[in-house]
């Protein structure tokens, strides 16, 4: 079932919030195709809202730290905002030090999407014009959110009229204890990744390293907070986890809260996932007050700065080609044996 409500107004336009229900209740608004809430049944037979979110359009844009939004054209950082494609050097907006971050100053997270509904699927479409933020090509993005049997499927469809870069993701911050809990350090996490990308001081990925024997080893389920305080230069740079993990399976991650017994499984066709532990959060706005480490993100994507790396697929979208990618967030309530 899908219901629709007026959420707010932005840029002279009405912004609607749609709630899609089938086991879980997912609320998405047309500004930034932003996920505002995901309510999941917990072990007390109540609904727990497991994502951080804002309550009005202005905060979504100005104070939301990309919470729940679709980001792009290119998620994550591109070093110096520069890359070369077909022998042409492109200069993108530098909105994070020297780097280009999450599509630039005006990315898809700030666009008002057109919406249509079909059964339990919400389809949202927006356009990024040729040259926007330095990217080539008129690019049309369609994001389809479908909820079925407690699973949220996010599908990305895109096309451009010139060769360009494209690497979208969703920037939801999760706390399986509930969005108002304040800390994700006792949420458990398992990542199917035996390597991660180290970062430089500007948080741009450098070397691909084995997770073995490091705080980045999430191959077996452990609390996010178990190793986050270790004396490790990589954790120091980012103030916690803000790193790309190199996935070895479509089943990217499992997260679990012993407080609610909510389990989240993440599946994706992407090769990378950015684990970000909300190290920069400091907001006093939103459904609750969100401080440092009150949410964690699992942003599925091509490796960050892939266009400037030689060891991975590059997010090049050729003129006229159809881009497709999907990520699923699947929920259940089950007590796990965490030993």
CB of 22 to ligand GLA, least distance (A): 29
Q: Which residues contact 279 (CB under 8 A, 6 or more apart)?
A: 238, 239, 240, 241, 242, 292, 293
**Interface with ligand GLA by CB under 6 A: which residues?**
65-66, 76, 101, 203, 242, 274, 276, 280, 297, 299
CB of 116 to ligand GLA, least distance (A): 29
Q: Is 120 exposed, middle or buried (0-12, 13-18, 19+ CB in 10 A)?
A: middle
| Residue nearer to ligand GLA on the CB measure, 18 or 173 | 173
CB of 282 to ligand GLA, least distance (A): 10
Catalytic residue among 100, 102, 171, 243: 171
321 given a catalytic annotation: no
- Sign (positive or negative) of CA dihedral 305, 268, 129, 163: positive
| Residue nearer to ligand GLA on the CB measure, 42 or 277 | 277
CA separation for the pair 28, 11 (Å, rounded): 18
| Residue nearer to ligand GLA on the CB measure, 52 or 141 | 52
Catalytic residue among 25, 132, 179, 299: 299
Q: Which of 165, 32, 170, 156 is nearest to 92 (CA)?
A: 165
Residue 262 vs residues 47, 112, 180, 183, 223: alpha-carbon distances, Å: 10, 32, 15, 15, 14
CB of 318 to ligand GLA, least distance (A): 27
| Residue nearer to ligand GLA on the CB measure, 176 or 203 | 203
> What is the number of the residue whose Cβ is closest to ligand GLA?
276
102 given a catalytic annotation: no
Q: Which residues contact 162 (CB under 8 A, 6 or more apart)?
A: 130, 136, 137, 138, 319
Q: Catalytic residues, which ones?
A: 171, 299
């Amino acid at each position: 079932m899908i219901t629709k409500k007026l959420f707010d107004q932005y840029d002279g336009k009405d912004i609607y919030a749609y709630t899609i229900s089938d086991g879980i209740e997912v609320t998405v608004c047309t500004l930034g195709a932003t996920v505002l809430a995901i309510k999941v049944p917990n072990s007390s037979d109540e609904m727990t809202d497991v994502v951080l979110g804002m309550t009005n359009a202005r905060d979504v844009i100005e104070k939301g730290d990309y919470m729940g939004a679709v980001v792009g054209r290119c998620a994550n950082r591109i070093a110096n905002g520069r890359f070369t494609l077909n022998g042409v050097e492109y200069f993108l907006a530098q909105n994070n030090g020297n780097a280009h971050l999450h599509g630039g100053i005006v990315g898809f997270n700030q666009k008002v999407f057109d919406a249509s509904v079909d059964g339990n699927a919400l389809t949202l479409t927006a356009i990024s014009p040729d040259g926007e933020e330095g990217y080539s090509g008129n690019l049309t993005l369609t994001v389809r959110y479908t909820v079925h049997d407690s699973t949220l499927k996010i599908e990305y469809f895109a096309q451009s009229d010139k060769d360009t870069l494209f690497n979208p993701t969703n920037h939801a911050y999760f706390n399986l204890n509930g969005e108002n809990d304040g800390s994700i350090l006792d949420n458990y996490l398992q990542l199917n990744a035996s390597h991660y990308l180290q970062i430089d001081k500007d948080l741009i990925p450098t070397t691909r390293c084995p997770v073995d024997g490091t705080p980045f080893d999430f191959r077996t389920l452990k609390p996010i907070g178990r190793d986050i305080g270790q004396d490790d230069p990589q954790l120091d740079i980012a103030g916690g986890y803000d790193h790309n993990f190199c996935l070895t399976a479509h089943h990217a991650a499992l997260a679990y809260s012993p407080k609610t017994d909510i389990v989240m499984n993440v599946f994706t066709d992407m090769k990378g996932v950015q684990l970000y532990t909300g190290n920069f959060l400091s907001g006093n706005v939103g459904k609750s007050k969100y401080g440092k480490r009150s949410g964690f993100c699992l942003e599925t994507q091509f490796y960050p700065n892939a266009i400037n790396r030689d060891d991975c697929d590059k997010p090049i979208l050729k003129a006229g080609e159809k881009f497709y990618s999907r990520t699923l967030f699947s929920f259940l309530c089950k007590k796990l044996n965490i030993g």
